[in-house]
Chains A and B, each alone.
Chain A
Amino acid sequence: MKLLIVEDEKALSDNIRAYLSRGDMVCETAFNFEEAQDKLLSFDYDIVLLDIMLPDGNGLNLLRLLKRLQPETGVLIISAKNALDDKVQGLELGADDYLTKPFHLPELNARLNSIFRRRKFQGHKILEFQEIKINTDTHDVFVGEASLVLTLKEYELLLFFVTNKNRVLTKQAIAEHLWGDNVDLLDSFDFVYQHIKNLRKKISAEGGADYIKTIYGLGYKFSSDQ
């Protein structure tokens, strides 16, 4: 997956790049409007990660340019402005998703993968991890040949794990992924544990291995390593 990160804050851009490069993404960076414009005019990208507040221009104008040049490129807007206007306008202009700063990097990764699947695998949106298969179109999950009946939250949880395989996922990041901003209502993250317990149970019932590794006190990691 080829990604262009348009973000004026170098440290943040470095974070994203370092995190995503550990997976299968090729990341390029642009730190201002000019640079981003040059790169968009010269190269093709699968997804553009776009900060709409740039020192020398509005990111929404880059979005317009991009949609004219490469309409099939996916766009994820990141902004510190939690402004509804920007969100609506961005999505109207053809952005695929919108993420407000500060975000969890696994969340960013999951969103990017989701956009990528929608954009690239026309009709074949099957995600595989060892014996687990996920059809992101129909939301069907298989362990080997057996179909797995999951609740919506369990499905979202499994998808989040698979897209962030081999990465440490804190309970907080998981909880925020599942319940959004209202996660602060949950006094503890026991609810995450409940969902994970159920998911584990369902997978092993169909003969699947337990890939959800617990990192004590912190979170989980989805990995086939022993």
Chain B
Amino acid sequence: MSLITKTTLFYLLVALLVFGIGGVVTFYLVQKEVQKETDFALRDNLREITEELAEGVPLDFLKRGKADIADLGPAPRDTFYSFADTLAPHPYLEGQMEPYRKVTAVQEVNGRYYRISITDVFIETDDIYDVVVDIMLRLFIILSVAMLFFGFLITGWLFRPFQKTLERIRSFNLKDQQVLDLPQTSTKEFRQLNAFIAQMAFKARKDYLALKEFSENASHEIQTPLAIARGKLELLLETPGLTDEQLNLVQSAQQNINKLSRLGNALLLLTRIENKEFAGNQAPADFSGITQHCLENFAELASLKGLGLSRHIEPGVQVIIDGALADILVANLVKNAIRHNIPGGWVEVKLDARSLLVRNSGPAPRVPSEQLFDRFQKSRQGDGSLGLGLAIVKKIAEANGFEVSHRFTEGAHEVEVVF
């Protein structure tokens, strides 16, 4: 529920309460006023009759309408007047009683006493009730319509800067260089919000750029010293008179430099995929050709390790992916299948329009399938594997919206990438 709907509903609820109480109060006030006015009119009437009696107007003439006058004679009595509610038959509607207000008085006029009683139609309570409810209901409806209409109009206008800000945030992209264009507003809270968001966006972009720059420079900064160290060792090897032991130490150092270099490259690749640096180069790639080419590259290595390599590649499979990443994806899968194999084992690569399937014989994994895709998951220590191959496969798959899964059945590993 939007903020505007919520506030409007809340206001309507409050209005309903106010109108309810207001209705009750109005009802009693009106009722009281009506009675007061009726009594006032009756008293006027009484005075008028008394004055007319004093002027000598005949009694019969005055006994008209709702007035009832009785001559009580000259004997002295208490004079008074009192009001009462009474029921009397309706003048037109047969058998229906109507409430009346009645004043009964004993008055002395020119030494004689008269009993005068006057009745008047009294506005019924349920009539007042109906009118009050009717008025309240109409007012409430008018108010509701007005509130809904103007409420949405005014709040919409009031909240427009906020809506715009939301819109801008939604379309915000870290990689864009475009400045986050937040709307100008005179509302203090929105100004504060916008200032805060602008600051956050600026910082996020700055950090993103710094990270990107770092990951790009990291390669250069790491590889150069490694190249130097490797060169120094090669120069050392050229020195005459080194013992076998010394030569072995140099050799071992070189191997580790090599590993470090590969590690740096692999981590850099992961970072670059995460930073979506390849996202811009997505284009339909000839996946069949890429797979075929990759298998040719690895055919010799597979045969050197005594592995049988079979392939079922459907020609003309097109997949939307960055070409370089496609190469890396296939190469990593095939490499993995060759590395984690058994002597005299086999590798099978299947490609069709739906998926790429790489199966290979190999020892059972020591961790659950899903963990195989984590970084630095190694089946064995010290086999030259970095433990990043499947992590890279997973990242590439994620970046291109592919599904990647691993199964181990009947002594065979199966990694499938569903496009």
The answer to whether A and B interact is: yes
Q: Give chain A's interface residues, CB within 8 Å of chain B.
A: 9, 11-12, 15-16, 18-19, 22, 53, 80-82, 84, 100-106, 153, 167-168, 170, 172-173, 179, 181-182, 184-187, 191, 194, 215-219
Identify B231's interface contact among A12, A167, A172, A216, CB under 8 A: A12
Identify B227's interface contact among A12, A22, A187, A219, CB under 8 A: A12
Bound form: Cα–Cα A186–B258 in Å: 14
CB-defined contacts of B248 to chain A, threshold 8 Å: 217-218
Bound form: Cα–Cα A168–B235 in Å: 9
Tell me whether B22 is interfacial, beta carbon within 8 Å.
Answer: no
Identify B220's interface contact among A80, A106, A184, CB under 8 A: A80
**Cβ of A185 and Cβ of B231 under 8 Å apart?**
no
Tell me whether B148 is interfacial, beta carbon within 8 Å.
Answer: no
**Cβ of A102 and Cβ of B335 under 8 Å apart?**
no
B322: nearest chain-A partner, CB-CB: A84
CB-defined contacts of A182 to chain B, threshold 8 Å: 297-298, 301, 331, 335
Tell me whether B115 is interfacial, beta carbon within 8 Å.
Answer: no
Tell me whether B173 is interfacial, beta carbon within 8 Å.
Answer: no
Bound form: Cα–Cα A145–B216 in Å: 53
CB-defined contacts of A185 to chain B, threshold 8 Å: 298, 301, 305, 335, 338-339, 384
Q: How far is the CB of B10 from chain A (nearest CB, A)?
A: 59
Q: How far is the CB of B70 from chain A (nearest CB, A)?
A: 122
**Range, interface on chain B:** 35 or more
Q: Give chain B's interface residues, CB within 8 Å of chain A.
A: 216, 219-224, 226-232, 234-235, 237-238, 244, 247-248, 250-251, 254-255, 257-258, 261-262, 265, 268, 297-298, 300-301, 304-305, 324, 331, 335, 338-339, 383-385
**Cβ of B265 and Cβ of A82 under 8 Å apart?**
yes
**Cβ of B237 and Cβ of A170 under 8 Å apart?**
yes
**Cβ of B223 and Cβ of A187 under 8 Å apart?**
no
**Cβ of A104 and Cβ of B230 under 8 Å apart?**
yes
Bound form: Cα–Cα A153–B301 in Å: 12
A180: nearest chain-B partner, CB-CB: B297
**Cβ of B228 and Cβ of A12 under 8 Å apart?**
yes
A105: nearest chain-B partner, CB-CB: B234
CB-defined contacts of B265 to chain A, threshold 8 Å: 82
**Cβ of A19 and Cβ of B235 under 8 Å apart?**
yes
CB-defined contacts of A9 to chain B, threshold 8 Å: 224, 227-228
Given contacts A15-B232, A16-B231, A82-B219, contact A22 B224 (CB under 8 A): no
Given contacts A81-B219, A81-B220, contact A170 B339 (CB under 8 A): no
Identify B238's interface contact among A80, A103, A168, CB under 8 A: A168
**Cβ of B339 and Cβ of A105 under 8 Å apart?**
no
**Cβ of A172 and Cβ of B258 under 8 Å apart?**
yes
The 7 closest A-B pairs by CB, nearest first: A15-B231, A102-B227, A80-B223, A80-B220, A101-B223, A101-B227, A102-B226
Given contacts A53-B220, A101-B224, A105-B231, contact A191 B258 (CB under 8 A): no
CB-defined contacts of A170 to chain B, threshold 8 Å: 234, 237, 251, 254
**Cβ of B247 and Cβ of A215 under 8 Å apart?**
yes
**Cβ of B384 and Cβ of A80 under 8 Å apart?**
no
B298: nearest chain-A partner, CB-CB: A182
Q: How far is the CB of B307 from chain A (nearest CB, A)?
A: 10
**Cβ of A102 and Cβ of B235 under 8 Å apart?**
no
